[in-house]
Amino acid sequence: AYSGIRPLPASDASVPGLISRDHSAPVAEPDRNRPFAVISLIGGKWTTFRGFAEEVADTVLGRLQRSRKVTTQTMPIGGGRDFPADAAARASWLALAHSETGAGERRLEALLSRYGTRATQIATHEPDDEGRLPDSESYSRSEIDYIVRTEFVEHLADIVMRRSTLAISGSLTGRDLQEIATIAGRALGWSAGRLAEEVEASALELEDRNLMRLG
């Protein structure tokens, strides 16, 4: 799961967005106080983490004078596993997913585009009416609950800004935010006070970062 934390290099940039996302793995060689080398993993991003991992593994294997025995270069992960590669495979996947979950094809298409083949995990637990959010109707309450329980959510802003497209799409409303907070609070055991704090903090962050003033 994506945690939203990135080890960026030290920089004089005025805002984090201006700092380079290039990655590096400098090696601090052993010295008289430390008899072993230290490899520091700096920078990188979600779209390059597997390539970065490969580079670091190659460095470690080289220093140990060992050869690679297993590679995950072509191993699909998460929702990429068994992902339908063409129109025919997609139609077949949708038909099978419908027979297994009872969800409609349009709903399965939306979930497949967001979660890959993990879409069936959400569709299986959605009620027949799918219990949509008040205004952002492409998201269901069950889907939000799934995000909260499986994606290491700590704050309400994690859900709307980092685990979904609700903020970036501009579809989020104040009613949606309150409903999402209620779902998260139920799953995470938030008190009424904590829930109110999360709503207020998220609304302020959305206004500051996304210029969204929720009514």
**Pair 86, 14 in one domain:** no
16-25, 74-83, 111-120, 172-181 — which is least confidently predicted?
Answer: 16-25
**Pair 37, 54 in one domain:** yes
Integer Cα distance of 212 and 205 in angstroms? 9
**Pair 86, 141 in one domain:** no
- What is the residue range of 161's domain? 127-215
Query: At residue 16, what is the residue type?
Result: P
Give the model's confidence band at 215: pLDDT under 50 very low, under 70 low, under 90 confident, else very high.
low
Domain-ending residue, one of 14, 44, 75: 75
**pTM score, two decimals?**
0.74
Distance of CA 100 to the CA centre of its chain: 25
Integer Cα distance of 97 and 119 in angstroms? 9
Q: What is the pLDDT of residue 129?
A: 58
Integer Cα distance of 158 and 153 in angstroms? 6
Q: What is the pLDDT of residue 128?
A: 62
Reduced to 3 states (helix: H, G, I; strand: E, B; else coil), residue 38 is strand
**Pair 143, 64 in one domain:** no
Integer Cα distance of 53 and 41 in angstroms? 9
Domain-ending residue, one of 60, 93, 124: 124
Task: Give the mean pLDDT of 73-83.
Answer: 89
Q: Does 4 score more than 90 pLDDT?
A: no
Report the percent of the chain where pLDDT is more than 70.
Answer: 95
DSSP state of 27: E
List of residues 6+ apart from 111 with CB closer than 8 A: 103, 119, 122, 123, 143
Give the model's confidence band at 115: pLDDT under 50 very low, under 70 low, under 90 confident, else very high.
very high
Task: Give the mean pLDDT of 106-111.
Answer: 94
**Pair 26, 58 in one domain:** yes
Please name which of 55, 64, 62, 67 lies closest in space to residue 25, comparing C-alpha atoms. Answer: 55
Q: Does 2 score more than 70 pLDDT?
A: no
Split into its structural domains, the chain has a count of 3
**Pair 208, 178 in one domain:** yes
> pLDDT tens across 159-212, in order?
999 999 999 888 899 999 999 999 999 999 999 999 999 999 999 999 888 777
Give the model's confidence band at 1: pLDDT under 50 very low, under 70 low, under 90 confident, else very high.
very low
CB 214 within 8 A of CB 173: yes
Can you name the residues that pair with 31 across neighbouring β-strands? 34
Q: Does 23 score more than 50 pLDDT?
A: yes
Task: Give the mean pLDDT of 87-93.
Answer: 97
Query: What is the number of other CB atoms lying within 10 angstroms of the CB of residue 174?
Result: 15
